[in-house]
Amino acid sequence: MDKGRLDHYGDLFGALVNLQGASDGAGQWFMPFDWGATSITYRTDLVDLQGKEESWEMLFDPRYKGRIAVIDSAADTWYCMAILAGVDIGKPLTGADIDKTNALMKKLRPQVRMFTNDMTSLSQAMASGEIVIAITWNETPVGLAGEGHAVRFASPKEGALTWCCGLMMHKDAPNLDGAYDIVNAMTSRETGVYIIDWWGYGHSNSESFKMADPAMLAQLGLDKDPIAYLKSGHMGIPQADEVETRINRDFEAVKTGF
């Protein structure tokens, strides 16, 4: 991307702009947008931890079989199981790592009622009590709590999955002016305040944090710098194509019962 056309480049967190793979000597390839965690949202009025710590093991509690939901994406659910399996997702994964994680995925499958990427439907299912424990992103507990439901975004003892999402531009983009307009709109400080207040995610524009309510930031656990937040959990690295292909293939096989 042409940095001269990135209106908010100077306001972005440098640590996010310089994430592995985001830029190289040839230029900026990835523009960070939002950052957050994949963890467990649960109904505190319907789930009894029985004095135990929050953990990814909550998903395997037989008392809640059939009332569990997970994100329909290996990039989230599979990697969460890898964390529980003790796999270091910050390094290149081995065949043994994949086998250990697949074993947990197969154990989890009978517990799950919903594999979904539709967070609205998932939130409705949690509001009704049909689902009481779910793998979600930050926005789900923020929305449910805003509706008055008793929910919590867990801090599993094994650590949450942390991530940063962003934008890339196709080398043959037919409308560069429009593409830069989108990038600039999504990385503006005003967009950042909205992302923080309504979705509960961190944003790439550091100026957004100066405009947001400090109490809200603390409540959301976003009163840290982004790298401290991302390092508080487990952030994966890009894996080799053949590794990602196997992970996605195996994830789909488990979903269908194989």
Q: What is the pLDDT of residue 223?
A: 73
SS3 label, residue 37: strand
Give the pLDDT band of residue 240 (cuts 50, 70, 90).
very high
pLDDT at 151 over 80: yes
Residues 3-34+163-223, CATH architecture: 3-Layer(aba) Sandwich (3.40)
Three-state helix/strand/coil letters over 221-243: CCCCCHHHHHHCCEECCCCCHHH
Give the pLDDT band of residue 23 (cuts 50, 70, 90).
confident
Backbone angles phi, psi at 152, to 5 degrees: -145, 140
Average pLDDT score over residue span 64-90: 98
Mean pLDDT rounded to a whole number for the chain: 95
Q: What is the pLDDT of residue 86?
A: 98
% helix / strand / coil in the chain, to the nearest 5?
45, 20, 35
pLDDT at 25 over 80: no
Task: Tell me which of 142 and 26 has the higher pLDDT.
Answer: 142
User: Residue-wise over 101-133: b if at least 16 C-beta within 10 A, else e?
Assistant: bbebbeebeebbbbbbeeeeebbebbbeeebbb
- Yes or no: say if 137 and 89 are a contact pair by the CB < 8 Å rule: no
Of 167, 58, 73, 187, residue with least CA distance to 119: 73
Average pLDDT score over residue span 15-41: 90
pLDDT above 70: percentage of residues in the chain: 100
Give the pLDDT band of residue 221 (cuts 50, 70, 90).
confident
d(CA 183, CA 237): 24
Q: What is the pLDDT of residue 28?
A: 87
d(CA 79, CA 161): 7
Task: Tell me which of 244 and 214 has the higher pLDDT.
Answer: 244
For the segment 192-208, what is each residue's pLDDT rounded down to a tens digit?
Answer: 999 999 999 999 999 99
Q: What is the pLDDT of residue 188?
A: 98
Per DSSP, helices labelled H in the chain are 14-17, 79-84, 95-108, 119-128, 139-146, 176-186, 189-194, 206-211, 214-220, 226-231, 241-255
The token pair that represents 107 in the structure block:
């154990």
Residues 36-159+234-255, CATH architecture: 3-Layer(aba) Sandwich (3.40)
d(CA 130, CA 224): 35
SS3 label, residue 34: strand
Residue extent(s) of CATH 3.40.190.10 domains in the chain: 3-34+163-223, 36-159+234-255
Q: Give CA 71 to chain center in angstroms.
A: 10
First to last CA, the chain: 43
| Lowest mean pLDDT, pick from 23-32, 53-62, 100-109 | 23-32
